[in-house]
Amino acid sequence: MPLFLLLLAVPLAEIALFVQVGGAIGLWPTLGLVLATAVAGAALLRREGRAAFDRLQTVLSRGGDVAAPLAEGAAVIAGGFLLLTPGFLTDALGLALLIPFTRARLWRLLLRATGAKVVTVRAHGPVPEGGAQGATIEGDYTVLDREQEHGGGARR
């Protein structure tokens, strides 16, 4: 039900913003602003998407944890999509997802709001040939968010 309400509320809010902005600056400047944000969004998507892909390649080449670069790449794609979607509300959120500083803050807010934990797992030794099906892999894990671990009643 919350998703349905969101899908209903966003277009209504966009229409209301179009009417307000159009009434304040006129039809053609409003349409120009929408077009300009789409062009800027495409350029930002290209630049930030390339940077996110480069970070993912770096992590992969070092054998590190790819969760953060993949999440960052997904946020960049979502931000670009939102900027290409006509509307001022979606443009604001899309821009926030494309700027690295605000993207990191939004990521932390999302983790806090959902109660999710970020866990890093590293295996010791080689993975058996043909994959790890049926094999036991020993490893360590590190909880990166100590505040949630102690304050949220997390179980181990």
Distance CA 47, CA 32 (A): 23
Same domain, 74 and 93: yes
Same domain, 33 and 53: yes
Give the global pTM: 0.64
In Å, what is the CA distance from 41 to each residue of 9, 15, 16, 108?
A: 23, 20, 22, 23
In Å, what is the CA distance from 123 to each residue of 26, 58, 92, 132, 140?
A: 60, 19, 41, 11, 7
Which burial class, exposed, middle or buried, applies to 107 when counting CB atoms under 10 A from its CB (0-12, 13-18, 19+)? middle
Distance CA 87, CA 15 (A): 8
Same domain, 29 and 97: yes
Same domain, 48 and 104: yes
Distance CA 26, CA 21 (A): 7
Residue 2 lies in a domain: no
The whole-angstrom distance between residue 130's C-alpha and the CA centroid of its chain comes to 33
DSSP string, 89-122: HHHHHHHHHHSHHHHHHHHHHHHHHHT---EEEE
User: What pLDDT is attached to residue 95?
Assistant: 86
Give the whole-number percent of the chain exceeding pLDDT 90.
16
Same domain, 106 and 37: yes
Residue 3 lies in a domain: no
User: What pLDDT is attached to residue 103?
Assistant: 83
Same domain, 94 and 147: no
Distance CA 34, CA 31 (A): 5
Residue 6 lies in a domain: no
Domain range enclosing 89: 11-116
User: What pLDDT is attached to residue 153?
Assistant: 46
Residue 38 lies in a domain: yes
Residue 44 lies in a domain: yes
Same domain, 95 and 144: no
Domains identified in the chain, total number: 2
User: What pLDDT is attached to residue 101?
Assistant: 86
Instruction: Write the pLDDT tens digit of every residue in 91-129.
Output: 988 888 888 888 888 878 877 888 777 665 555 555 555
**Measured in Å, how far apart are the chain's first and last C-alpha atoms?**
32
